[in-house]
Amino acid sequence: MQEESHFLIIGLGLLGGSYAQGLKRKGYHVSALDINPESIAYALEQGWIDEGAVGFDEKLVAQADSIVFGLYPQALLEWIDQHQDSFAPNTRITDVTGVKEQIVTQVQQKLHPDVEFIASHPMAGREVSGVQYADCSMFEPANFIITPTAANTEAGIAWVRSLAEALNFRNIAVLSPAEHDKMIGFLSQLTHVIAVTLMNTSDNTHLVDYTGDSFRDLTRIAKINESLWTELFLMNKQNLVREIDEFAAELAHFRSVLENEETDEMKRLFRQSTQRRKCFDK
């Protein structure tokens, strides 16, 4: 990424705000668009953006050579349909969306040939939303996934990699959009399904008086943005349904082991899970 790169953040929420904060700290010129005037005002007050506008501003779009979409998936697609004629030639674009195959296919089909979309996914977030919770330090322990296609150039892929490096992501990986969505169906979406389902299993509010850390840890992500996650689940429905089925089969196996008091098999399952979990402690 060149030092004179001019960034535009479209969608100044938790991730968009964190990108703006991190890029501004590295000395880049950063602008932003958001439908919420309070979000723009907050980012200006914090010094995270040089300028911003509410809704759409053709000048800010046209002067940017590097654009990050912090929008929900459907909103991103609609924005491209409505405003892509304002992109300057040779603009590079990336996103933060948690599903890729549908997004990448549609955006790359829609875009003019002199604009390049290189999709990426910062594996970072919190159980809260809004620019007021933005904090670029959350990227430091996080992974960053680039999901290029044959339509992308080596220079474009290198640009996204340099963006991740500028934001201090711990690890940068490359997957195809299809590989990404299969992986995310298990690692992220299934875990959210489990947390939500566990919380919905009992409405006994008195449980809060007795719970320990294990329940809190397991259900932390049950505090969920219903609009965003509904979009993400539906866009990755096939992968997620398969993961739910596989989890249900594994749960049924454990139930059978318990019911039949198969002690050796239960211990084997415990040893296997312990060994697999150690890989994540490195």
110 and 185 within one domain: no
Contact in structure between 239 and 181 (CB atoms under 8 Å): yes
Give per-residue pLDDT as tens, 48-96. 999 999 999 999 999 999 999 999 999 999 999 999 999 999 999 999 9
Measured distance CA(34)–CA(160) in Å, rounded:
22
Domain end call among 175, 192, 221: 175
Measured distance CA(246)–CA(248) in Å, rounded:
5
Cross-strand bridge partners of residue 173: 145
Contact in structure between 36 and 55 (CB atoms under 8 Å): no
Residue 232 or residue 207, greater confidence: 232
194 and 135 within one domain: no
Phi, psi for residue 133 in degrees, rounded to 5 = -100, 5
Domain end call among 175, 210, 233: 175
Measured distance CA(84)–CA(110) in Å, rounded:
9
257 and 225 within one domain: yes
What is the band of 210 on the pLDDT scale with cuts at 50, 70, 90? confident
Taking CA atoms, 222 is separated from 67, 137, 260, 267, 280, in Å, by: 31, 23, 32, 29, 21
Please determine, for residue 282, whether its predicted confidence score (pLDDT) is greater than 70: no
In the block, tokens 């947390």 appear at: 195
How many structural domains does the chain have?
2
Four-point Cα dihedral 220, 225, 231, 234, nearest 10: 40
CATH number for position 249: 1.10.3660.10
CB atoms within 10 A of CB 214: 8
149 and 25 within one domain: yes
Q: By residue range, what is the domain housing residue 188?
A: 180-281
